[in-house]
Chain A
């Protein structure tokens, strides 16, 4: 264990001597966490709508009013022809077109039904899906309203199911609250993964590893000496991240901080182990970084940060089970937002512990002092 002490001294000295890297490690996550959640806003509002109203009736006015009053839509064109509206779509100034045919009101009252035309710029899947759905919802509600008005004049009884809904844990439905823990999870993973992946490889590239390999140092001591400094750094960055989410977004972990740190501690060991494993496989820093980058991309995309894992096909779900980032994102959201306790995250903790043991053992095995 004395050897580890000397290794740690050396690693920490090297880290603190390299101010540029140190500053980046601390500043970059803070800045990104402060900025990115504002951008990663899936909340659909400000959907740009062009209306081609050929009816100009009370009903059509009412409909358009209830659409704009919903707060989701911004009217970027009104009263033009369908062609004009189409131009707005082509130049990305409109996402949706609502065409109200001539005779809308008259036909609705006389013939009991009337069509409306909606065209959706479906290139942007999310916006199309949600914007279209909102529009349909508003039209439906409006329909319900005039129907009730028209029927109640006739005096028939209607059986109504009243739906009350409440949203727990995030009553203001703030999307940023959801994204912040996820983005923090990714940042921690990137910091830990990249730094550890580059570290051993750097010693290989510079040649200092030779001088280490010719000493009687034990392999697991060497790996431990590399692991611990980054583990400490990871915890520091994580703490910074929690402070940023509190100061900027007012997010105070609902659950127990001890649970959170316990999980992060194990998680960091597994991610660092992965980085070190990659490091032992590569000959140049460029290679290590590129391989790490490939996996990061995979981890981020299949981690459930942007899209839900539930909706993935079976094969993809299976892949996510081997993705440590997935577990961190879930646990962060559970503990920080919902206040889940240790017993709720035991499964996650178990899996990540397995990762930690497996990856680090592989790293030790694959680090060869003798070629």
Chain B
């Protein structure tokens, strides 16, 4: 068809846009037709927010412990009832002796044993010094540490009470203020983490697999011989996921505001802009994987097995990055989720503006461009 226009370039761009729209529509149809996948696509962030918000906690409580009381005197009984009153411990007073402690650790439920020697009270009152022994199941060193600390605190409180007059002297009282997260809810760290995780995995995996799928089924060739630019074929596959992911961001934010009572302290527009950037980064990774692999299974294994644990671990939202060995700290820098996590944390929780996160933004932008250029190069070589 001839159009009466002086500039063929304009006309080309127009038809290109029209074609692009057609392709995007086709991709949308694919995505929307698959109800099972769609359900999971939107169900996943909800499930994760609920689990992180309500099920997971780093707090240690309700730990089963055994008390081996060889003293059976008033002092030991009093101390034990204090321990029982604490919400950290579930005391099992079964009359076992210390030889059986190992067995109960091996059985797996008991985390700590407290042993009172004979004459505990007599030693304490008359010798001014008595001993107790704490044995922990230190397979999990953190729990062991925390439980020892809790136990020590209870014992020291008891000791302070029997030393009434001495304990009030020279007291240093630390007053602790929790910044940003006064109730110390663990979700505060998790919400940005979940956002990073969900977006990362959904975008990378879905684009990679859907492109490789067309390759595998042979339909890609049909698309590529069409007069349509190959680049646009690829891009049109990414557009639906971009939009679905933005819906996911919105639903995560809604959940966090209305269900978890965690407000967005900074600019919502900035948050969405940065999220779009991150989504594009992830889509580019997906495209990158897809041009390099030939089978769906390989693409899946890479984007899933290769990305799931590293994203959880290296983004910094479950494990502090500065705890890691130097080499790994360096590696975390190439994990886009890390930068996005910092950005979301800054905007959402600390309420900071763009000036605080421009560096992270530039890094994400750089990663995206880098991957895009490499994938395009590979793509062209493949075609040639």
Q: Chain A residues in contact with chain B, CB under 8 A?
A: 18, 20-21, 24-25, 28, 32, 35-36, 38-46, 48, 89-92, 108-109, 112-130, 132-133, 135-137, 139-140, 142-143, 146-147, 150-151, 156-171, 173-175, 177-178, 183, 186-187, 190-191, 194, 198, 202, 281-282, 284-287, 289-291, 293-294, 296-298, 300-302, 306-308, 310-313, 315-316, 319, 330, 333-334, 337-341, 344
Residues of A within 8 A of B325 (CB): 38
Q: Evaluate contact between B48 and A301: CB separation under 8 angstroms.
A: yes
A-B contact pairs, 18 of them (CB 8 A): A24-B302, A112-B169, A125-B57, A125-B186, A139-B172, A151-B170, A157-B128, A159-B163, A160-B128, A163-B132, A166-B134, A167-B141, A168-B102, A170-B138, A175-B142, A290-B206, A291-B37, A316-B54
Q: Evaluate contact between A330 and B128: CB separation under 8 angstroms.
A: no
A-B contact count (CB 8 A): 359
Closest Cβ of chain B to A85, distance in Å, is: 11
Chain B, residue nearest A134 (CB): B149
Q: Evaluate contact between A125 and B184: CB separation under 8 angstroms.
A: yes
Q: Evaluate contact between B175 and A117: CB separation under 8 angstroms.
A: yes
How far, in angstroms, from A281 to B36 measured CA to CA in the complex? 10
Closest Cβ of chain A to B290, distance in Å, is: 12
Q: Evaluate contact between A194 and B180: CB separation under 8 angstroms.
A: no
Instruction: State whether A167 and B179 are in contact (beta carbons under 8 Å apart), knowing that A46-B323, A90-B356, A312-B57 are contacts in the complex.
Output: no
Q: Evaluate contact between A45 and B323: CB separation under 8 angstroms.
A: yes
Closest Cβ of chain B to A114, distance in Å, is: 6
Partner of A159 from the list B124, B145, B181, B205 (CB cut-off 8 Å) is B124
The answer to whether the Cβ of B6 comes within 8 Å of any Cβ in the partner chain is: no
Chain B, residue nearest A345 (CB): B108
Chain B, residue nearest A117 (CB): B175
Q: Evaluate contact between B304 and A168: CB separation under 8 angstroms.
A: no
Q: Evaluate contact between B56 and A301: CB separation under 8 angstroms.
A: yes
Instruction: State whether A112 and B323 are in contact (beta carbons under 8 Å apart), knowing that A123-B345, A125-B186, A301-B56 are contacts in the complex.
Output: no
Closest Cβ of chain A to B102, distance in Å, is: 7
Partner of A129 from the list B48, B130, B184 (CB cut-off 8 Å) is B184
Interface centre among A46, A122, A186, A313 (most CB of B within 10 A): A122
Residues of A within 8 A of B298 (CB): 20-21, 24
Q: Evaluate contact between B178 and A122: CB separation under 8 angstroms.
A: yes
Residues of B within 8 A of A159 (CB): 124-125, 128-130, 159, 162-163
Q: Evaluate contact between B297 and A202: CB separation under 8 angstroms.
A: yes
Closest Cβ of chain B to A19, distance in Å, is: 11
Closest Cβ of chain A to B76, distance in Å, is: 11
Q: Evaluate contact between A338 and B105: CB separation under 8 angstroms.
A: yes
Chain B, residue nearest A91 (CB): B356
Residues of A within 8 A of B185 (CB): 125
Closest Cβ of chain B to A276, distance in Å, is: 16
Partner of A344 from the list B107, B145, B177, B178 (CB cut-off 8 Å) is B107
Chain B interface residue count: which class?
A: 35 or more
Q: Chain B residues in contact with chain A, CB under 8 A?
A: 34, 36-37, 40-41, 43-44, 47-48, 51-52, 54-64, 102, 105-108, 111, 124-125, 128-146, 148-149, 151-152, 155-156, 158-159, 162-163, 165-166, 168-182, 184-186, 188-189, 201, 205-206, 209-210, 213, 295-298, 300-302, 304-306, 308-310, 312-314, 318-320, 322-325, 328, 332, 342, 345, 349-350, 352, 356
How far, in angstroms, from A139 to B48 measured CA to CA in the complex? 38
Q: Evaluate contact between B184 and A122: CB separation under 8 angstroms.
A: yes
How far, in angstroms, from A130 to B142 measured CA to CA in the complex? 9
Residues of A within 8 A of B308 (CB): 190, 293, 296-297, 300
Closest Cβ of chain B to A341, distance in Å, is: 7
Residues of B within 8 A of A286 (CB): 34, 37, 206, 209-210, 213, 296
How far, in angstroms, from A156 to B151 measured CA to CA in the complex? 26
Interface centre among B52, B106, B111 (most CB of A within 10 A): B106
Chain A, residue nearest B178 (CB): A122
Q: Evaluate contact between A194 and B155: CB separation under 8 angstroms.
A: no
Chain A, residue nearest B213 (CB): A286
Residues of B within 8 A of A319 (CB): 55
Instruction: State whether A285 and B181 are in contact (beta carbons under 8 Å apart), knowing that A108-B170, A139-B174, A311-B57 are contacts in the complex.
Output: no
Instruction: State whether A90 and B170 are in contact (beta carbons under 8 Å apart), knowing that A122-B178, A289-B209 are contacts in the complex.
Output: no
Q: Evaluate contact between B305 and A123: CB separation under 8 angstroms.
A: no
Going nearest first, the 10 A-B pairs with the smallest beta carbon separation are: A167-B138, A316-B55, A122-B181, A125-B186, A173-B141, A165-B134, A122-B178, A170-B138, A340-B106, A113-B171
Q: Evaluate contact between A293 and B304: CB separation under 8 angstroms.
A: yes
Interface centre among B61, B139, B165 (most CB of A within 10 A): B139
Chain B, residue nearest A191 (CB): B305
How far, in angstroms, from A160 to B107 measured CA to CA in the complex? 34
Chain A, residue nearest B102 (CB): A168
Residues of B within 8 A of A183 (CB): 309
Q: Evaluate contact between B139 and A190: CB separation under 8 angstroms.
A: no
How far, in angstroms, from A119 to B165 measured CA to CA in the complex? 31
Residues of A within 8 A of B296 (CB): 198, 202, 285-286
Q: Evaluate contact between A307 and B57: CB separation under 8 angstroms.
A: yes
How far, in angstroms, from A202 to B188 measured CA to CA in the complex? 41
Partner of A43 from the list B141, B175, B176 (CB cut-off 8 Å) is B141
